[in-house]
A = this chain, B = another copy of it.
Amino acid sequence: MPLQLIPEVLCRYRNVWNIDLRFRPAYLGGVIHLSGNKPPATVPNKALYMTSDLERLARYCSVPVCFPANPFEAMFEKGSLNAMRFLTAVSEKEKVGDSLVEKVSRELWKRIWSTDQDITEPASLSEAGLNAGFSASDVEELLKLAKSQQIKDKLKQTTAEVMEHKAFGLPLVVCHVDGKTEVFFGSDRFELMAYCIGEKWLGPQPDKPTAKM
């Protein structure tokens, strides 16, 4: 499942599973490079498949996503470094319960994966920030912060942390249950996640109905 669908589906499951869902911005380009992986779309047939797969999944999940008109430019030439630095800056400002990273993250994926808009220019990031509920002056501050060494280092640190979980791509879903960690790549594993996290997260299951004779 493409990366932009996963957080949306996780958000839907959040209450059902009763989980504390946290968004941690990391840099996909770094993960691909550090793991020695290649972007999947560099294999032509895989790129074709991803397009039809995305169309079907979008309908299935009711999440309005589609490939940008020029995916190569959007994904490889422009990339997500600026967006992830901006999100990292947002994460510094986030307070418990205000879901700012989630909101800005949603605005950003909607731009690139739904309305085919830029996510690298300051004006684009501003718009995402404003739509997520930040004030104009907050957004200014965030843009400045996003360029600071502190934020660059923090994004590197989160990306390094992702690599400790043996990542080879993103998104990576790291589930913490009872002191144990289960790592899931991509998002074709929601049933498996539910199965692995088991009763601890799902809460006590209702008794099986007894057949009345």
Residues of A within 8 A of B (CB): 1, 35-38, 43-46, 48-49, 52-53, 56-57, 59-60, 166-168, 182-183, 185-186, 188-189, 191-192, 195-196
Contacts and interface: CB of A to CB of B under 8 A. Distances in A.
B45 A166 contact: yes
In this complex, the member of A35, A49, A182, A191 whose beta carbon has the largest number of chain B beta carbons within 10 angstroms is A49
Nearest to A57: B192
A42 to B, nearest CB: 8
Contacts of A37: 43, 45-46
Contact of A48 (B53, B57, B166): B166
Nearest to A31: B45
Give the oligomeric copy count. Answer: 2
Given A35-B43, A188-B188, A188-B189, 6 more contacts: A1-B188, A37-B43, A37-B46, A38-B38, A56-B192, A186-B188
16 contacts: A1-B188, A35-B43, A35-B44, A35-B45, A35-B46, A36-B43, A36-B44, A37-B43, A38-B38, A46-B168, A49-B183, A49-B185, A52-B183, A53-B185, A56-B192, A57-B192
A185 B57 CA distance: 13
A60 B195 CA distance: 7
Contacts of A35: 43-46
Contacts of A188: 1, 186, 188-189
A60 B192 CA distance: 7
A185 B47 CA distance: 12
Contacts of A192: 56-57, 60
Given A60-B191, A60-B192, A191-B60, A168 B38 contact: no
Contacts of A60: 191-192, 195
